[in-house]
Structure 1
Amino acid sequence: MAKIIPFQGLRPTADKVSLVTSRSYEDYTAAELAYLLEYNPFSFLHVINPAYVNQQKVTADKRFKMVSNKLNDFKKEGVFVKEEFPSFYIYQIEKKNSLFTGILAGTAIEDYQKNIIKKHEDTLEYRVNVFKEYLHFSRFNPEPVLMMYPDQEDINNWINIQKQSDPIYNFSTVTKERHTIWQVQNEIDLQWVKNKFESINELYIADGHHRSASAEMLHNEGDQVENNHLKYFMSYLISESNIKIYEYNRIIHDLNNHTKEEFLEKIQEKFILENKEQQLWKPTKKMEFGMYLDGDFYSLRLKEQLDSTDLLDHLDAQILYNEILNPILGLDDLRNDARIDYVPGNESIVSIKEMVDDGEYEVGFMLYPTNVAEIKALADNNLIMPPKSTYIEPKFMNGLIIYEI
């Protein structure tokens, strides 16, 4: 049974929220970062990337302490204020063609350990360790784990009732998104939501496997008795029908010493290959694959049905790996091989065409998106998806609601 708690969020004042919040650091170009750091003194980018000299000589622990110190500066200056009472937050993200609404809450590390909170993605040990050290020295988490729960009509109705009150935030971003947050502090409502989630048997991590694993590692270091917040980590709880799953497409730098003709011949041993020429073609169903090579798009369909009963073998990303990426292109470790890169499916396939045409890459592959049922089935059977199998929305703004530990 899932256990969630309200928490005392640290958040920017309403008059500065649109100036403070930022996208993920990696989403900005160098020019954008330089501009924001130079001309916006309130940007949360100053916190997550504090200025220092001799960057190469600054150890990770010192850098993370500087992150904490910079946040403390923002608190002293009144940019951020601490909530007086524990709260749940209804968080709505509106994009051009999508509307996401969920609940920001603390989710229990005990549930993560008992597999009530289920995972479908592997983690890299070094990344978990780095983020654990970040949490240890900075003492805050600015970004929630995206967590799915089965659709619940009564929770939807409760959310709609809360949205009738005045929001604490309602602002737009330069990427044309609207972010709206309602605060819930009424004890009756807090208890109702907690009780409701206690009746839910499983939660599923959609995005944020490294953040949750890092929180567990910090919890296991032993100081959780002194700090109750270490027993939980911040999550965005959203009904499974409200997330949007995109594929992660693959682009590869070379053909593993094959000529174009040899490469196509090897593919045709397992796939029906159709040249779509200049048609911007992408898969329309499972077990179809798109490919862009030497100025042409291709469709690929398996010649024979899979005889494996393994759920993982029926995942499109795994099929592509088993039949092409590994045996033909010689790619083994998809997480660390520098010959492969990934393009999220919310970007146009024109971007794949352009990167191949520019000569940096030789071939690109387009996949059909995974669905919620596949993610849950894999998680229920303790199976792990291949790296970069899904790109899931919503994505969050940093510095909007901060969970202190």
Structure 2
Amino acid sequence: MSKTLQAIRGMNDILPEQTPLWRYFEDSVARLLDGYGYRQIRMPIVEFTELFKRSIGEVTDIVEKEMYTFEDRNGDSLTLRPEGTAACVRAVLEHGLTGGGQPQKLWYAGPMFRHERPQKGRYRQFHQIGLEVFNLEGPDVDAELIVLTWRLWKLLGIRDAVTLELNSLGTPEARARYREALVDYLSARESQLDEDSRRRLASNPLRILDSKDANTQALLVDAPKLADYLDDESQTHFDGLKTRLDAAGIPYVINPKLVRGLDYYSKTVFEWVTDQLGSQGTVCAGGRYDGLVEQMGGKPTPGVGFAMGIERLVLLLETLGKVPESLARQVDVYLCAFGEAAEVAALALSERLRDQLPDLRLQVNAGAGSFKSQLKKADKSAALYALILGEDELAQQVVGVKPLRDSLKEQGNGEQRTIAWDALAEHLASCL
């Protein structure tokens, strides 16, 4: 017997029962970003592999172990994008969007791909919404990114479930001095490090700060601190960010071990974390990457951004019971028609209603059926009202309006009525 076809492990279908919540989340973010003056950009999901090697860093876990890389028919090495910042930088460079020092405030949404061990809140195809800002170098725009996420958490009702963690990585020169001190300290204790940390000691030692191994974390208690190696410029920038967050009333925690997993970060880094999702606690993260555009062949251009994980934030909404009740109903009105003449009239009547009430969610019965079977389908659709159009109603140019939910009785709309076609749109508008 042939193997049953199914989705690739870690790449999940998002079913019709789930998509209303996804749309609610995505629409909430899009409206918020419109209000802050961000413009959407859409990039391909496949890029040349060299793009990610140059930007993310060849010795990062993403490039070394997690990318989906393949050779196409032309012999080019291509990669499904593992994150959005590099692709966005490539796009703004290719199309000259950062030329002349003009600030650019951009956002994007879509799937990313990493070959990780699938678990709750972590998938091989996952979805992100990302923001990137170019040609603005002060702490004011760093603060704006954090402020707008703080506003989003309020809109979604999850502020109490997330915590902001901050750190500064300093300039590349300051970080190089710190890296040297950290390597000296850990090299003298290499035998006590976990296997991953020993591997990172030569290639990416700052990632050791983020180790989940308890013994390694115990060693780091007395290790050199990055804050002690910050240059004056980075310290001033970080102080300016904290001052603005304090003024906005946004609480935060300084996490000196927060380094992020990508090589291109400098100065500000931040994460929004939650303790409601087990080990997958980061729901939004980002920071400043002032050297990345130049590193990828452009002129020196300051940049800062973040990405939020849609799967994790949708899961957080579900976990906290913050899913709006209205999302359970995708149909407002279900139109039942009995007999061919009524079916023909129902089609015309439904389009007339859609013209008059553009936001009305109206489903017309298809496939005929008895009175009982059509009302059963109307009830199953979760609609608030069934419209009934039979031979008698057709002759009189009226429609029966039957409430389907007990809650409507409490609102005084629980009685079935007969409404003339000309008055139907106004009646439905008053009921919905």
Query: Larger RCO: Structure 1 or Structure 2 (Cα < 8 Å, ≥ 6 residues apart)?
Result: 1
Shared fold per TM-score greater than 0.5: no
| Bigger fraction of residues in strand | 1
Normalised by the size of structure 1, how large is the TM-score? 0.25
Normalised by the size of structure 2, how large is the TM-score? 0.24
